[in-house]
């Protein structure tokens, strides 16, 4: 957590306030997880354990200067825990809350039409995955490709395709020994309404 705050401060603070532009964004999205834990012995349990697929809601604050933007984003979802195998997925949604905090640097890489903008984003993210009284924290790499277009006045909208990867969200001893811990990955899409301050 401290590492994420330090990285955000080092990137955001040096920007010239007079030439920068602030934007606040409300985002809604859906994410699908994979990896995490895989049964290597073909035992009686499910072949894979992972966080469940989840709708998310998020808030982002961005500061832009020219072609570059730096954003701080927080999002929330309740993925629960999924057991998957043989075309069937069973998800327990009674627990398993997720808070994601991310620092993203976005660079304009192109445009579509007279006013649409395509941006590539990359940065670190901190995931807090909470089960009852147990909270797991994982640092991940997050990347995205976004398309933004004007709506009216100071409002614009954006659709974002993103992915992340981190070490397994499970720890040794969480599952029987036949399960091999693997990288946890996620891909998803968000739709955001942006307001330029």
CATH number of the domain residue 38 falls in: 2.40.160.20
Which pLDDT band holds residue 31 (cuts at 50, 70, 90)? very high
Q: How many domains does the chain have?
A: 1
pLDDT in the model for residue 176: 86
Q: Which residues contact 18 (CB under 8 A, 6 or more apart)?
A: none
pLDDT in the model for residue 2: 57
Q: What is the pLDDT of residues 131-158, one digit of tens each?
A: 778 888 999 999 999 999 999 989 999 9
- 3-class DSSP assignment, residue 96: coil
Dihedral of CA atoms 12, 129, 53, 42 in degrees, nearest 10, equals 130
Domain interval for residue 18: 2-196
pLDDT in the model for residue 101: 97
pLDDT in the model for residue 5: 52
Q: What DSSP state is assigned to residue 44?
A: S
Q: What is the mean pLDDT of the chain?
A: 87
Which pLDDT band holds residue 18 (cuts at 50, 70, 90)? very low
Token pair in block for residue 112: 């579509």
């Amino acid at each position: 957590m401290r590492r994420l705050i330090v990285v955000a401060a080092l990137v955001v603070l040096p920007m010239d306030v007079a030439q920068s532009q602030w934007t606040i964004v409300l985002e809604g999205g859906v994410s699908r997880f994979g990896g995490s834990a895989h049964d290597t012995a073909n035992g009686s349990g499910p072949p894979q354990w992972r966080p469940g697929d989840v709708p998310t809601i998020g808030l982002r604050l961005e500061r832009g200067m020219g072609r570059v933007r730096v954003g701080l984003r927080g999002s929330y979802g309740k993925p629960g825990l999924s057991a998957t195998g043989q075309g069937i997925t069973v998800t327990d949604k009674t627990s398993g809350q997720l808070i994601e905090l991310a620092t993203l640097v976005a660079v304009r890489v192109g445009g579509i039409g007279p006013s649409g903008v395509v941006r590539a984003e990359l940065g670190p993210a901190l995931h807090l995955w909470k089960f009852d009284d147990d909270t797991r924290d994982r640092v991940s790499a997050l990347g995205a490709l976004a398309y933004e277009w004007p709506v009216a006045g100071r409002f614009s909208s954006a659709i974002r395709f993103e992915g992340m990867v981190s070490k397994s969200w499970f720890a040794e001893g969480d599952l029987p020994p036949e399960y091999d811990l693997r990288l946890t990955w996620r891909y998803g899409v968000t739709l955001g309404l942006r307001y330029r301050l």
